[in-house]
Amino acid sequence: MSDGFLEAASDLLGPRGLTRDAQVIEPWLTDWRGRYHGNALALASPANTREVAQLVKLCAQHRVPIVPQGGNSGMSGGATPDDTGRSILLSLRRMDAFRGWDEDARQVVCDAGVVLQTLHEEADKRGLRFPLTLGGKGSATIGGLVSTNAGGTQVLRHGTMRAQVRGLEAVLPDGTVLDTLAALKKDNRGFDLKQVLIGSEGTLGIVTAATLRLLPRIAARRVLFVGLASVQQARRLLLLAARQMGDALEGFEIMPRDALDAVLAYEPTARDPLEARHDWYALLELVADEAQAGELEGRATTLLESALEKALVEDATIAANETQAEALWALRDGISSAERAHGPAVQHDISVPPEAMPDFIEQASTKLEKSFAGTRAVAFGHLGDGNVHFHLRAPEGAQGGEWENADGKAISAAVHDLVTQWGGSISAEHGIGQMKREELARLADPAALTILRGVKQALDPLGIMNPGKLVPLASQRPAA
């Protein structure tokens, strides 16, 4: 069966589109965090939607599982195959064309393999911008961002990837092409099918193209880096900035001193922006269009003056130019890599109601550090939208891999229990993948699980689309 499939797939895609070369495939068999490793029958790289559709039909005919993969920068193992070697890796990185720009409508139609940073650069040439960014913008693809409903640092103002998608093209599990690329403002023909696919992690179909909304290019921005006494002060500063700056407040990120120390130790060019040490830091991004660009400097200064008068900040700096602004953002964007290099840790991408997040960070950190002796809680990220990356570092001397396998599941279960008690989500923006599938089965609303499984069964009855990811099996739900 596999020989017949491979021969047919090779005839369809040609030597550029299908490879079994182990050296070529190997880098794509391990997830970004290095936690999951699998095997694959082959790596398929179709050149267009027609080839994707024909390949999916072929896979359905031969019952070959498909594991779609964008930039392989996911955090939950959602793009890594299992170890059976029966799956085919499907990469759309060859499909990297811009199908059309409409500058008047402020939208673009692009293939799923377009890299986020490339989209940013091409939009900028046209006086436009795409309002979603994240640390992995140099590798993350549009298809991957859509499939995981990516978030990033601008969700506070612009929302997740779901809010950026105006239309979608996707290949369904039977090889049918769903085309909803037309960006209709009003369309009441039943379910919004593109929204069903967004965030489905490749379990319902293969996103091949998207129509994305664009905004006018920023005419001015100011990046502020402030030192704070507590995460509670960070929340108060956020509320003050929202009142005074309105839509000019585009990003509000927090990090504790531990996280900053990790970046300073890991990145040889990184520098501490402030003279004294502070327990917490906030990074604020303020932006303006052409009409308000001249006022932004004064408004940023007034905001800091107000914060100092109210004793919300201990010290602060405003980037004097773009180089300094990017250096400040590099401190935030470098946390994940620095944390990974620092040593073993269990990472969690969680959300609770934004107004409750400071209390959650303080209380959960104390409780977990007490329950798991020697661990250190580190929370950082998007305070404005109630999403932080909540890590527990291993005790000194712990061995990577051994500690995670011994204590990691118990720690994650404890974190997820607390998040659920606080009315939150165990996955704010990284998806479920294979890492959190069992926890979703344990903690999710039974009605939600029923719908997830029902949609999966209806669209993918053969179960060939990214098996083992996102959707828990019915048997995974513990008995009451």
Q: Is residue 473 part of a domain?
A: no
Contact 149, 194 (CB under 8 A): no
3-state secondary structure of 156: helix
The answer to whether residues 256 and 196 belong to one domain is no
Please name which of 262, 258, 252, 257 lies closest in space to residue 227, comparing C-alpha atoms: 257
Task: Write the DSSP symbol of residue 30.
Answer: B
pLDDT category at 50 given cuts 50, 70, 90 is: very high
Q: Which of 221-225, 412-416, 427-431 has the lowest mean pLDDT?
A: 427-431
pLDDT at 454 over 60: yes
Distance CA(333)–CA(140), nearest Å, equals: 14
3-state secondary structure of 314: coil
Distance CA(309)–CA(25), nearest Å, equals: 58
Q: Is residue 226 part of a domain?
A: yes
Q: What is the pLDDT of residues 281-321, one digit of tens each?
A: 999 999 998 889 999 999 999 999 999 999 999 999 999 99
Contact 59, 175 (CB under 8 A): no
Last residue of a domain, one of 67, 91, 115: 91
Average pLDDT over the chain, rounded to an integer: 94
The answer to whether residues 224 and 212 belong to one domain is no
The answer to whether residues 388 and 356 belong to one domain is yes
> Which residue type does 239 have?
L
Query: What domain count does the chain have?
Result: 4
Q: Is residue 62 part of a domain?
A: yes
pLDDT category at 33 given cuts 50, 70, 90 is: confident
Q: Is residue 448 part of a domain?
A: no
Tokens of 152: 């990033």
Q: Is residue 166 part of a domain?
A: yes
3-state secondary structure of 147: helix
DSSP string, 374-396: T-EEEEEEEGGGTEEEEEEEPPT
> Which residue type does 382 have?
H
Distance CA(430)–CA(273), nearest Å, equals: 29
The answer to whether residues 189 and 160 belong to one domain is yes
Give the pLDDT of residue 405.
84
Residue owning tokens 């990033």: 152
The answer to whether residues 178 and 125 belong to one domain is yes
The answer to whether residues 281 and 364 belong to one domain is no
Distance CA(170)–CA(339), nearest Å, equals: 36
The answer to whether residues 171 and 195 belong to one domain is yes
List the strands of the sheet with 165-171, edge to edge.
Answer: 98-102, 107-111, 206-213, 165-171, 177-180
Q: What is the CATH number of the domain that holds 181?
A: 3.30.465.10
Q: What is the pLDDT of residues 242-271, one digit of tens each?
A: 999 999 999 999 999 999 999 999 999 999
Give the pLDDT of residue 176.
98
The answer to whether residues 275 and 372 belong to one domain is no
Task: Write the DSSP symbol of residue 408.
Answer: I
CA dihedral sign of residues 180, 182, 187, 192: positive
pLDDT at 2 over 80: no
Domain holding 228, by residue range, is: 220-338
Q: Kindly tell me the burial class for residue 447, based on how many C-beta atoms sit within 10 Å of its own C-beta (0-12, 13-18, 19 or more).
A: exposed
Q: Is residue 262 part of a domain?
A: yes
Please name which of 317, 354, 350 lies closest in space to residue 428, comparing C-alpha atoms: 350
- Give the mean model confidence (pLDDT) for residues 377-404: 90
Q: What is the CATH number of the domain that holds 308?
A: 3.30.70.2190
First to last CA, the chain: 42
CA dihedral sign of residues 23, 468, 68, 139: negative
Strands 18-19 vs 42-44: parallel, antiparallel or unpaired? antiparallel
* Share of residues in the chain with pLDDT > 70 (%): 98
Distance CA(232)–CA(238), nearest Å, equals: 10
Q: Is residue 407 part of a domain?
A: yes
Element (DSSP H or E) covering residue 412: helix 409-421
3-state secondary structure of 350: strand
pLDDT category at 173 given cuts 50, 70, 90 is: very high
Q: What is the CATH number of the domain that holds 48?
A: 3.30.43.10
Global pTM reads 0.90
The answer to whether residues 230 and 309 belong to one domain is yes
Q: Is residue 474 part of a domain?
A: no
Distance CA(115)–CA(406), nearest Å, equals: 37
Distance CA(296)–CA(302), nearest Å, equals: 10
Last residue of a domain, one of 198, 216, 234: 216
Q: What is the CATH number of the domain that holds 413?
A: 3.30.70.2740
The answer to whether residues 352 and 375 belong to one domain is yes
Distance CA(313)–CA(463), nearest Å, equals: 53
The answer to whether residues 318 and 374 belong to one domain is no
Last residue of a domain, one of 72, 91, 110: 91
The answer to whether residues 333 and 226 belong to one domain is yes
Give the pLDDT of residue 74.
87
